[in-house]
Amino acid sequence: MLSLSIPYFSQPIQLIKETHQMDGLIWFHQGGGESSNKEWFSAWPESTYEYLGNGSTRVTSYQGDVEYCNGDFFNLLKKRYPLHTVDDELKATASPFEQGVLAGHLNYDLGLELLNISSRHLSIDETSNNDTSNQKPLAVVGDYRWVCEFDHVQKKACIYIAVNCPAAITHKVKQLAEQLNQPADTGSPDAPNAQTAAHWQSAMSFEHYQYAFDTIQNYLIEGDIYQANLTRQWQTTTQLSDWAIYQPLVEQMPAPFSVFHRSPLSSLLSVSPERFIQIRKQQIVTQPIKGTRPRGADAIQDQAFKAELENSEKDKAENLMIVDLLRNDIAKSAKPGSVQVDKLFELQSFKNVHHLVSSISATLAQNTHPLDVLKAAFPGGSITGAPKKRAMEIIDELETTHRGAYCGSAFYLTANGDLDSNILIRSCVLENNHLVCSGGGGIVVDSQLEDEFNESFVKVKKILQTIAPVTEER
């Protein structure tokens, strides 16, 4: 392992923006500020794994060589990225990124395949294996052999290059280190010019939302489900680059589980507030969000919204349903009897909303791989409803577009078995100048149509307005 020192910045975006053109750039961060502990970025993956569905994975090497592999996607990743046993004493002092990282994102649509749900939204071109050259993947994961880590506790930054990093990538990383050691432009990121992005358009009218809401209410009354997460999508066209869009989002909406991921066909721009699965020292943690209120215009109104959320029986019931679902999901990979709820209905405040967040933990079962935990719980119950499979079938029936990366998960896995992941809410995807962003919420039997419709907009309003004009229409 080779380590290279670089300047430390409390806001690493000041450095990353100088080198943001890198292919395969991925940045996991916590929005900066004193609440952040560590964050990291990398680029130029040694191999990129694109899961095309139906058991087919396209693997592209850094040199551009392409091969197709058949079989389970997660098993392929486990085989190609073996974990290393690390002495506990060494693990306590060494960075988990010294041997690189496996990182990327899983689309929500992958969950449909995992649960054997046929989607009416995925076209033949997206599910067929006849022509795979431009086929949209259900997951994109890179094998990164180097990592630039920022430690905000010790206030230092370092680039780690694994011993098996290809020479060509090592050369580029060394050049990057030299560049980062030069004085950087630390000016504030510029806000996008609204003229370079068209007015946002909703893909779901109020009339259709009302129809979907009423249909879910009928399913609830009939006992098909206890809850379903209904979302809607906004779309725009833009000439902005992925990085030009993401810079102001990070500034306007700092969030603890944010990620930027530039993949071969699209870019994921996420300022997610929600953790999905974390594994540290054989301990599993998941932290679902259910229950939302907007931030107030002043301190008095803001406190009123907080109190309303904390005392809402409806929101607590909605949260509890998902807590129960996730207890079951992680129990599939946990030591029997180890699952417990550590926090229930904890109020957390973000720049645009207040949320109720619960925390569930368990001990990883012996001989269970971290990716097995991710697969068993995917997609996250907080963005499906309960029971999960039936809720997802109803979602596919009623929503007007497929979700893509939205409501999926970005994750990373280190060679010592540490894993962390988010739920891809508060996220945009840019592909060929087409930008999409979605928002939604859980529908239960005592939900109110107007409240739920408005909440779906409140959650993403600040994101949309940061990028382009938007008008909420009935």
State both tokens at 161.
């290059």
Would you say residue 473 lies in a domain? no
Contacts of 241 (CB under 8 A, 6+ apart): none
CA distances from 101 to 19, 113, 144, 230, 421 (A): 20, 26, 5, 34, 13
Burial of 69 (0-12, 13-18, 19+ CB in 10 A): middle
pLDDT value of residue 37: 80
* Separation CA 353–CA 273 (nearest Å): 10
Burial of 24 (0-12, 13-18, 19+ CB in 10 A): buried
Would you say residue 350 lies in a domain? yes
Contacts of 200 (CB under 8 A, 6+ apart): 234, 235, 236, 437, 464, 467, 468, 469, 470
* Separation CA 241–CA 256 (nearest Å): 23
How many C-beta atoms lie closer than 10 Å to residue 174's C-beta? 15
pLDDT value of residue 373: 97
**Residues facing 101 on adjacent strands:** 144, 414
Q: What is the pTM of this model?
A: 0.92
Q: Which CATH number do you get for residue 228?
A: 3.60.120.10
How many C-beta atoms lie closer than 10 Å to residue 34's C-beta? 7
Would you say residue 47 lies in a domain? yes
List, by residue number, the catalytic residues.
274, 290
Number of domains in the chain: 1
Cis peptide before 189 (omega within 30 of 0): no
- Category of 133 on φ-ψ map: left (φ > 0), alpha (ψ -120 to 50) or beta: alpha
* Separation CA 101–CA 20 (nearest Å): 19
Residue range of the domain that includes 254 = 2-467
How many C-beta atoms lie closer than 10 Å to residue 234's C-beta? 24
Would you say residue 100 lies in a domain? yes
Would you say residue 289 lies in a domain? yes
Which H/E stretch holds residue 307?
helix 299-310
Would you say residue 474 lies in a domain? no
Residue with tokens 């890179």: 142
pLDDT value of residue 238: 94
**pLDDT digits (tens), the chain, 474 positions:** 899 989 888 777 777 776 778 999 999 998 654 445 889 999 999 999 999 999 999 999 999 999 999 999 999 999 999 998 665 545 555 789 999 999 999 999 999 999 999 999 875 444 444 555 567 899 999 999 999 999 888 889 999 999 999 999 999 999 999 988 886 555 554 544 444 678 999 999 999 999 999 999 999 999 999 999 999 999 999 999 999 999 999 988 889 999 999 999 999 999 999 999 999 999 999 999 988 888 888 999 999 999 999 999 988 988 998 999 999 999 999 999 999 999 999 998 888 789 999 999 999 999 999 999 999 999 999 999 999 999 999 999 999 999 999 999 999 999 999 999 999 999 999 999 999 999 999 999 999 999 999 999 999 999 999 998 888 766
pLDDT value of residue 469: 86
Rg of the chain in Å (alpha carbons): 22
**Residues facing 105 on adjacent strands:** 140, 410
SS3 for 344?
A: strand
pLDDT value of residue 471: 80
Query: What is the full DSSP assignment across 25-60?
Result: -EEEE--SSTT--EEEEE-S-SEEEEEEETTEEEEE
